[in-house]
Structure formats: structure tokens, C-alpha cells
């Protein structure tokens, strides 16, 4: 299977758009086509394996991972559960790292950091990796040390959060944060390292690293209730990749087919001109191209494997109810 970068798609798509490759709208169309097609199927190259060693039960996954499809703990297949699982009347109840189920991965939503702020005496420090990012502004939103939602004056308007201006080294918040719920940052030249600053002990602890193209950092979180600091395990997942727009010519494209992207871009143009039936037809042709690619990639030798849950709450742990 071929892998493409943004520059590979610009010329053929600029041609059907009747635009020069330097027109920023060409990249915009490519990215919109990518986002739409990514959500339509598990195409080759749109999923990946990630392996971590978990020690406290809670795992924050990399930015690139959107959806966990399967999990194995210490090389043994486990179960993936959604956020509603703990609230089922016939379910196991609310879980934490003290519980004993080390094979069930629970969805715990999203977070802006890979590690939560600990305690109430913590300010946030943002450290720049590239001095050229000095002067850019970042908004940090969350709760202060008393549990109150932080609101300050930003550009003359009272708004949620606190705005800080990056320097060539680091900048520290005025407010103490007990939780960072969200952040808004511009595209930067380098990574931003996020530290919680213990104002009593004068100690920093790294709680996040935001990549240059991230403007609204969000990461999926999971809990494996049977893992703790005394019971660690290797956790391997297969997951669907998150949509991340391509911005520079050397960025990898998520959709592994330039012909499919061309068709999807034409579908978008038809839709913009309110030619809905033609738009639907072009989108279906794009999906046909990707489905053919998927069939070619898998081949005829792989045997389909049904995904059957062995046990279930609410059924008395009976393997099969007939």
C-alpha cells in the first residue's frame, strides 16, 4: 500500500479545482475530504497499534488515537467498554484502580493533559521548545484551588480561563489550577511542555506536551480497573486514528488513495453548489475506490473472525443465551 504526503495530492486536486497548487483552498479541500472519508470506514493506514505499560489503571492515549477497537493485557485479549458501561443497572458499578478486573478497558472520555493536576497549590508553566514562539498567546481554562471556574479579562472582555503570553523560556499562570479542563493555543513552531508548579515546594512535574499543530489539545482516556502501582501490565490496543489536518507539504495523508480524495473533493464542490444528488454520487464513487483498496489490501487468504462476547453482566455470566 502506498503512503502519500500532502504534496502528492496537491497537483491532481488543484487541477480539478482549476486552482494553482499554492492556493490555500487546495489544502482546505484535501483536508475536508480526508476528514469525511476517515469517518466512513477502517481503511488501510487509518488504524494502528499502541502499546503502553500501565501502572495506575488510567491511561491517556496519544493525540493520534481516536477510537480503541480491541485491547490485550499481558498478551491476553480483553474487553472494550463505553462510558455508559459503569452505569448499567445490571453492570459492575463504578470502577477504579482498586478493583480487580484487569481485562476490561473502560472509556473515560477526554482530557487536555496526559496527567491530571495533583493538589490545589499548583500553578501551570508552559515551556517553549522554539524561542520564535515567544509572544504567542495561550488560553488555559479550568478550576482554581477553591474549585471555582476561572474567569479573567482577555483582550478587554471578561471570559473563561486565563491568557498567558509565551516567552523564549517559560511562562507561569497567575491563578492556581486544581484542574485544567481545556486549552486554546495557536499553531506553534515547536512543542509546548506543560508543567504543574508546586508553589510550596518549588517543584515542577510534567503533565503534558502539546504538539505544534494542536490548537485544542484533547486526548482519549481509558481505565483498566485491575491495574495499580503494585500490579502493572503491558497494554496493547488496536485503534482508529484521529483526524489531524495536513498543513505542510511533507505531512502524511490519512487517506491512502489520491483517486478517492479527488472524487471526494468533487463531491464537496457539488454539495457547495447545491447539487446534492451529484454530490452523493461522487462520494459513493470515492467509497467504492476505498472499498476496492481495502479488499485488495486484505486479500482472500484472511479468514473473517466473529467478535463474540464470552460473558456479560445481566445474563448471570452465561456464555450464550439462546
Is there a single domain that holds both residue 140 and residue 25?
A: no
Is there a single domain that holds both residue 233 and residue 270?
A: no
| Residue 252 lies inside a defined structural domain of this protein | yes
DSSP of 252-321, one letter per residue?
A: BPSSS-HHHHHHHHHHHHHHHTT-HHHHHHHHHHHHHHHHHHHHHHH-SSSPP-----S--TTTTT-S--
Domain limits for position 197? 122-210
Is there a single domain that holds both residue 274 and residue 292?
A: yes
| Residue 280 lies inside a defined structural domain of this protein | yes
Is there a single domain that holds both residue 107 and residue 223?
A: yes
Is there a single domain that holds both residue 252 and residue 235?
A: no
241 by DSSP, 3-state: which?
strand
| Residue 319 lies inside a defined structural domain of this protein | no
Is there a single domain that holds both residue 183 and residue 234?
A: no
Is there a single domain that holds both residue 134 and residue 192?
A: yes
Total tally of structural domains belonging to the chain: 3
| Residue 34 lies inside a defined structural domain of this protein | yes
CB 181 within 8 A of CB 241: no
| Residue 322 lies inside a defined structural domain of this protein | no
Is there a single domain that holds both residue 204 and residue 223?
A: no
Q: Determine the Cα–Cα distance for residues 152 and 205; give it in Å rounded to an integer.
A: 25
Is there a single domain that holds both residue 93 and residue 52?
A: yes
| Residue 306 lies inside a defined structural domain of this protein | no
| Residue 287 lies inside a defined structural domain of this protein | yes
CB 41 within 8 A of CB 264: no
pLDDT by residue for the chain (322 residues), tens digit each?
Answer: 679 999 999 999 999 999 999 999 999 999 999 999 999 999 999 999 999 887 778 899 999 999 999 999 999 999 999 999 989 988 888 888 777 788 899 999 999 999 999 988 999 999 999 999 999 999 999 999 999 999 999 999 999 999 999 999 999 999 999 999 999 999 999 999 999 999 999 999 999 999 999 999 999 999 998 887 777 889 999 999 999 999 999 999 999 999 999 999 999 999 999 999 999 999 999 999 999 999 999 888 766 666 666 555 544 444 444 4
Is there a single domain that holds both residue 35 and residue 183?
A: no
Q: Of 219, 182, 251, 214, give the one whose Cα is nearest residue 65.
A: 219
Q: Of 133, 258, 151, 233, give the one whose Cα is nearest residue 188.
A: 133
| Residue 309 lies inside a defined structural domain of this protein | no
Q: Determine the Cα–Cα distance for residues 263 and 283; give it in Å rounded to an integer.
A: 7
Is there a single domain that holds both residue 79 and residue 223?
A: yes
Q: What is the pTM of this model?
A: 0.86
Amino acid at each position: 500500500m502506498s503512503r502519500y504526503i500532502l504534496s502528492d495530492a496537491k497537483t491532481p486536486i488543484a487541477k480539478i479545482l482549476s486552482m494553482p497548487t499554492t492556493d490555500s483552498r487546495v489544502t482546505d479541500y484535501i483536508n475536508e475530504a480526508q476528514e469525511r472519508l476517515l469517518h466512513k470506514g477502517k481503511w488501510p493506514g487509518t488504524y494502528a497499534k499502541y502499546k503502553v505499560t500501565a501502572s495506575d489503571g488510567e491511561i491517556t492515549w496519544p493525540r493520534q488515537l481516536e477510537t480503541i477497537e480491541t485491547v490485550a493485557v499481558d498478551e491476553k485479549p480483553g474487553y472494550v467498554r463505553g462510558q455508559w458501561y459503569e452505569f448499567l443497572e445490571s453492570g459492575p458499578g463504578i470502577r477504579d484502580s482498586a478493583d480487580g478486573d484487569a481485562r476490561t478497558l473502560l472509556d473515560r472520555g477526554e482530557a487536555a493533559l496526559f496527567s491530571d493536576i495533583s493538589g490545589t497549590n499548583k500553578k501551570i508553566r508552559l515551556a517553549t521548545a522554539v524561542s520564535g514562539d515567544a509572544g504567542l498567546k495561550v488560553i488555559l481554562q479550568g478550576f482554581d484551588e477553591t474549585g471555582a471556574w476561572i474567569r479573567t479579562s482577555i483582550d478587554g472582555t471578561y471570559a473563561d480561563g486565563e491568557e498567558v503570553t509565551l516567552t523564549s523560556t517559560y511562562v507561569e499562570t497567575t491563578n492556581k489550577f486544581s484542574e485544567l479542563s481545556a486549552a486554546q493555543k495557536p499553531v506553534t513552531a515547536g512543542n509546548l511542555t506543560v508543567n504543574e508548579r508546586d508553589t510550596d515546594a518549588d517543584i515542577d512535574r510534567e503533565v503534558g506536551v502539546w504538539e505544534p499543530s494542536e490548537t485544542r489539545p484533547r486526548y482519549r482516556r481509558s481505565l483498566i480497573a485491575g491495574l495499580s502501582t503494585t500490579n502493572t501490565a503491558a497494554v496493547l490496543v488496536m485503534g482508529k486514528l484521529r483526524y489531524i489536518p495536513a498543513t505542510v507539504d511533507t505531512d502524511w495523508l490519512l487517506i491512502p488513495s489520491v483517486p478517492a480524495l479527488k472524487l471526494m473533493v468533487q463531491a464537496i464542490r457539488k454539495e457547495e453548489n447545491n447539487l446534492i444528488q451529484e454530490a452523493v454520487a461522487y462520494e459513493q464513487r470515492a467509497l467504492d475506490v476505498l472499498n476496492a483498496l481495502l479488499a485488495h489490501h486484505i486479500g482472500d487468504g484472511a479468514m473473517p473472525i466473529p467478535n463474540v462476547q464470552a460473558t456479560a453482566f445481566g445474563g448471570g455470566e452465561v456464555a450464550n443465551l439462546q
